[in-house]
Structure 1
Amino acid sequence: MAEILLLHHALGLTEGMHDFAGKLREAGHTVHLPDLFEGCVFDTVEDGLAYAQSVGFEAIIERGVRAASALPQEIVYAGFSLGVLAAQKLAQTREDTRGALFFYSCVPTSMFGSPWPVDLPVQIHGMDADPYFVGEGDIEAAREIVASAKHAELFLYPGDQHYFADSSLSSYDAEATALLLKRVLAFLAK
């Protein structure tokens, strides 16, 4: 079973994030779900991003890095949207990482000053018409990683929702999430 550091999106530590972590725990995995927003939860992406901007994106990333500092290095780093920033930084720069899971987001590897580790397994999930994932270029960063790694997969789901796997939000897509979860559990089983 895998040990996972799961980092939340810009709405904060929602019930849907707890639900997703619970599904991974039900499958036997150990999941760490830190609160990068220190108790703040938001109703809109804009409000969550405004909070992150007021704190500083680098500070939010460092909160994720600090959360990892007490954990073993041989874990899987997973992030949802904004949480991908810290998860990707950790996966790219920490030795002995077991794998990475990125949901709705991905950034160019150059952001963290090194290429993607060729042998590091990664899955990246997003919707094919998501205005953030596709419209803001994250999909190109995802394709760059997939092209450079031996064990990388990019999964696109039909739809235009950003937070489609958060069961507490109106953007939730049960069918896409069921498939995503099946793929994630297969990835973690390896």
Structure 2
Amino acid sequence: MAHIVLFHSILGRRPVEGEIAAVFEADGHTVSVPDLYGGEAADDYDAGFALRRAVGTEAIIERARRAVEAAPAEAVLAGVSFGAALVGEFWQQRPAMAGALLFAGIAEWMDPPRAGLPVAAHIARPDPFDDEDYFAGWLAGQGEADVELHRYDGAGHYFLDPALADYDEAAARLCLDRSRDFLARL
């Protein structure tokens, strides 16, 4: 079973990250969900971006780094939106990482992308924060990484969170089922 480090979205650690973790834990995985904002959370994206600025990049990166360092070398790095982008801060230093699981966002590729690295990304289509050229460019840069890009037509950006207007129950269920399958193959 995998050890997963799941970084929360720009909104902070909210109940949904615990719900996602519980799905994976029910399959026997170990999941840590570091609180990158020190107990603060937001209910909308504007407040989330303001909170991120208030906490500061240095504190966020340090909290994320501590969580990654506490995990086994082969841990799966995962994240939601802003949290998915954080994966890109660490995967270069994780040569034994078993895989990456990205929700509602992607991470900048390591240079070069590790051959055979399993990566699954789950993105709404259209995504309100990034256009289709952005995702096409990301795919073009995958090198020899083993990438699965799943798109969810008509779903909101953070379609996994039932507390948001973005929520799409069918997309969330499909995303979690695909993620469970991905983790089972690692």
Instruction: Decide: shared fold, TM above 0.5.
Output: yes
SS where residue 16 of structure 2 aligns?
helix
TM-score by length of 2: 0.90
1:131 aligns with 2:132: no
Aligned in 2, Cα 1:141/1:58: closer, same or farther, shift over 3 Å? farther
AA of the residue aligned to 1:143: L
Identity of aligned residues (%): 37
CA drift of 1:124 comes to 0.8
Provide the C-alpha distance between the structure 1 equivalents of 2:58 and 2:81, rounded to a whole number of angstroms.
15
Q: Flag structure 1 segments of 5+ consecutive residues without an equivalent.
A: none
Counterparts of residues 12-161 of structure 1 (less than 5 Å): 12-109=12-109, 114-134=111-131, 138-146=134-142, 148-161=143-156
TM-score by length of 1: 0.88
SS where residue 54 of structure 1 aligns?
helix
AA of the residue aligned to 1:2: A
Provide the C-alpha distance between the structure 1 equivalents of 2:135 and 2:58, rounded to a whole number of angstroms.
22
CA drift of 1:65 comes to 1.6
Count of aligned residue pairs for this structure pair = 185
AA of the residue aligned to 1:115: P
Provide the C-alpha distance between the structure 1 equivalents of 2:108 and 2:96, rounded to a whole number of angstroms.
21
CA drift of 1:163 comes to 0.8
**What are the Cα deviations for residues 123-178 of structure 1, in whole angstroms up to 9, with x where unaligned?**
0110111111437x6524531344x1341111111115111012332321110011
Aligned in 2, Cα 1:34/1:141: closer, same or farther, shift over 3 Å? farther
Q: 2:163 aligns with which of 168, 172, 175?
A: 168
1:8 aligns with 2:5: no
Aligned in 2, Cα 1:103/1:29: closer, same or farther, shift over 3 Å? same
Q: Confirm or deny: 8 A CA contact 1:132 1:138 kept in the other structure.
A: no
